[in-house]
Chain A
Amino acid sequence: MNRNSDKRKSLLVFLGRRWALIFLVIESLVFSFTTEAFFSLKGIQIVLFYGTTIFLLGTAETFVIITGGIDLSVGFVMGFASIVSAKIVVMLTNMGVPPAISILLGMLITWMIGLVPGYVNGSLVARLNVPPFIATFSMLGITHGTSELLIRGVPAKNLPYLANAIGNGYFIYLLPGKAISFFNKPVIQRGELLLEIIPNMVVIAFVFILIFAFLLKRSKFGQHIYAIGGSTDAALRAGINVKAHLIKVYMISSFFATLSGTVYMLQYVTGKADAGAPFLLDAIVAVVIGGASLYGGIGTIGGTILGCLILSVLETGLRMMGVPTFDKYIAVGVILILAVLIDQFFPELIHREE
């Protein structure tokens, strides 16, 4: 009998640790059968295209959550970055700078500016012992207000056409049997089949996500992030400069939020204060679905990406079925509460021992 209950428990543990993957497969199957558009090259790319924001904000949040903190400002830092980058690009273009260079400069300068909110968040948390949710909640207000001040009700517009071409272009264009082209959309005759593979913005997002996932998993820097999340005392006594480390983590978070803002600027060819606001909940939920603990010390970028895919598939699938996406918000809220409860009462069910 005992043996049987052991078996049942290990089955539960097996399923518990893979529930996210199982859920993703089931969800995708359901949408493949209930909608015509989902299971196609186009459908999958829509999932990725709409997922870019969650992928980036989820990555930002993963770093902070592993330290046991939370960053509520990512959504509005993203909006702020979309406006700042749009303004800079328009300004440079008006000064006669070629579009390609204005866009490149606009993004780089915005990435620099985007480190500031993270530095302030990190300093408040690490040096002045402000609870993370208070520090970053204040930053949410500050970036929101600053964004509104910058645009004064008029959205940033008149971006060069090139922004649209990059933001909505694809990595690979394929004319089956005839030609292949990278980045440049070939001119085609009517009726010809052109395959567009992997949106540019997804490529950019994943270049950065992969670099930082590597940093988190394999480097000493990443290892110390986990140590701080596990026990600040242990980290301190091991000689780790916990304060400096935390500040860097919050800066990574706001860098990804900023990156997401510049990606938004290219995708939607505008800047908007609340561009990222609806995705804050999604980003946190994706991290938790991915197996991270809100108590800190546990979590991976791989898990977060899985969580992001679940949410993006849900969103895309429901839209294709014509279901209003309010339902998604309810589902997401419920998933978050359930995941946190399981984390609190049955941690061994979802976290690996090793």
Chain B
Amino acid sequence: MGYVLEVQNITKRFGGLVAVDNVSMGVNAGEVVGLLGDNGAGKSTLIKMVSGVYHPDGGKIFFLGKETRINNPMDALFLGIETIYQDLALAENLNVYSNIFLGREKLKKILGMIKVLDHDYMLAESKKVLKKLEIEIPSLKNRISMLSGGQRQAVAISRSLYWDAKFLIMDEPTAALGITEQKKVLDLVRLLRSQGLGIIIISHQLHDVFSVADRLVIMRRGEKVAERITKDTDPNEVVGLIVGAETVKR
């Protein structure tokens, strides 16, 4: 079967430290893969190579079956690989629809020559994408600083989706949220999966990962130590794999 995104024998060194060592993994369309590991296991470095922040020292990246070079974050966005970082990278002083369109604002001409922001268009389009994702936000003219953590997460996700993401990387999407909001975000992840996106989730919240991921990839000290189908394993085994307490069968 063809993966949406696949990395083969990918490696990244920082001086003498091998942060990611010969790792291979793939994600199907409509699949959620949980990427697990302790701090310093190499999860973030791995996804930063996919999102164009780092350049791999070895190995290959395939996107939609074709080998691809991702030299910078704009390359990744152009391919349809969107990354939602833990800090979300929203401009808190701007309103919801301005954030969704940030950097790609829709303009209209007035007096036949002067280009100005087309607020009505951006508002209407943002409403549509939020509706499609079943997200409720009281007013899209509200500044981000007025929103709850879950609503912010939802805005960050809608922004990615509006720009036609085919692949989504989420770094600790539920870390800063209350219980109810965690559930909403996880529901949103399931909805995106049902719409055919490939998704990687990095999280320390094992419970969340187990409730939403189809497959788990576990890393330790830069290496991939195991891969499990979620329903064939349990948190105890996974914790063992993360900290290295069990003998590992690949």
Q: Which of A238, A296, A297, A298 has a CB less than 8 Å from the CB of B102?
A: A238
A353 to B92: give the CA distance in the assembly, Å: 11
Among the 9-residue stretches A23-31, A225-233, A270-278, the one with 4 or more Cβ atoms under 8 Å from chain B is A225-233
Closest beta carbon of chain A to B161's beta carbon, Å = 15
Interface size, A (range)? 20 to 34
Question: When the two chains form their complex, are residues A239 and B103 in contact, meaning their CB atoms are under 8 A apart?
Answer: yes
Among the 9-residue stretches B7-15, B37-45, B140-148, B164-172, the one with 4 or more Cβ atoms under 8 Å from chain A is B140-148
* B contact face: mostly helix, strand, loop, or mixed: loop
**Cβ < 8 Å to A, chain B residues 95-118:** 95, 98-99, 102-105, 107, 115-117
* A contact face: mostly helix, strand, loop, or mixed: helix
Q: Nearest residue in A to B83 (C-beta to C-beta)? A: A237
Provide the residues of chain A in CB contact with B77, threshold 8 Å. 239
Question: When the two chains form their complex, are residues B103 and A238 in contact, meaning their CB atoms are under 8 A apart?
Answer: yes
Q: Which of A219, A220, A226 has a CB less than 8 Å from the CB of B91?
A: A226
Number of A-B contacts (CB under 8 A): 68
Question: When the two chains form their complex, are residues A227 and B87 in contact, meaning their CB atoms are under 8 A apart?
Answer: no
Question: When the two chains form their complex, are residues B73 and A237 in contact, meaning their CB atoms are under 8 A apart?
Answer: yes
A238 to B85: give the CA distance in the assembly, Å: 13
Closest beta carbon of chain B to A341's beta carbon, Å = 19
Provide the residues of chain B in CB contact with A226, threshold 8 Å. 91, 93-94
Question: When the two chains form their complex, are residues A354 and B117 in contact, meaning their CB atoms are under 8 A apart?
Answer: no
Q: Does A3 contact B (CB under 8 A)?
A: no
Interface size, B (range)? 20 to 34
Q: Specify which of B85, B89, B115 lies most central, judged by the most chain A CB atoms within 10 Å of its CB.
A: B89
Q: Does B90 contact A (CB under 8 A)?
A: yes
**Cβ < 8 Å to B, chain A residues 234-249:** 234-235, 237-240
Closest beta carbon of chain B to A75's beta carbon, Å = 28
Closest beta carbon of chain A to B122's beta carbon, Å = 10
Question: When the two chains form their complex, are residues A354 and B89 in contact, meaning their CB atoms are under 8 A apart?
Answer: no
Q: Does A152 contact B (CB under 8 A)?
A: no
Q: Which of B87, B143, B146 has a CB less than 8 Å from the CB of A233?
A: B87
Q: Does A223 contact B (CB under 8 A)?
A: yes
Provide the residues of chain B in CB contact with A297, threshold 8 Å. 91-93
Closest beta carbon of chain A to B160's beta carbon, Å = 11
Q: Which of A220, A230, A354 has a CB less than 8 Å from the CB of B141?
A: A354
Q: Specify which of A226, A227, A233 lies most central, judged by the most chain B CB atoms within 10 Å of its CB.
A: A227
Q: Does A218 contact B (CB under 8 A)?
A: yes
Taken residue by residue from 322 to 354, chain A's Cβ proximity to chain B (1 for < 8 Å, 0 otherwise) reads as: 000000000000000000000000000000011
Question: When the two chains form their complex, are residues B94 and A230 in contact, meaning their CB atoms are under 8 A apart?
Answer: yes
Question: When the two chains form their complex, are residues B91 and A234 in contact, meaning their CB atoms are under 8 A apart?
Answer: yes
Question: When the two chains form their complex, are residues A353 and B87 in contact, meaning their CB atoms are under 8 A apart?
Answer: no
Measured CB to CB, the residues of B under 8 A from A are: 73-74, 77, 85, 87, 89-95, 98-99, 102-105, 107, 115-117, 139, 141-143, 146
15 pairs across A/B with beta carbons < 8 Å? A223-B98, A223-B105, A223-B117, A224-B103, A227-B94, A230-B91, A230-B93, A231-B92, A234-B90, A235-B91, A238-B89, A239-B74, A296-B93, A297-B93, A354-B142
Further 10 A-B residue pairs, CB within 8 A, beyond A223-B98, A227-B94, A240-B103: A220-B117, A223-B105, A230-B93, A231-B91, A234-B102, A239-B74, A298-B93, A354-B95, A354-B139, A354-B143
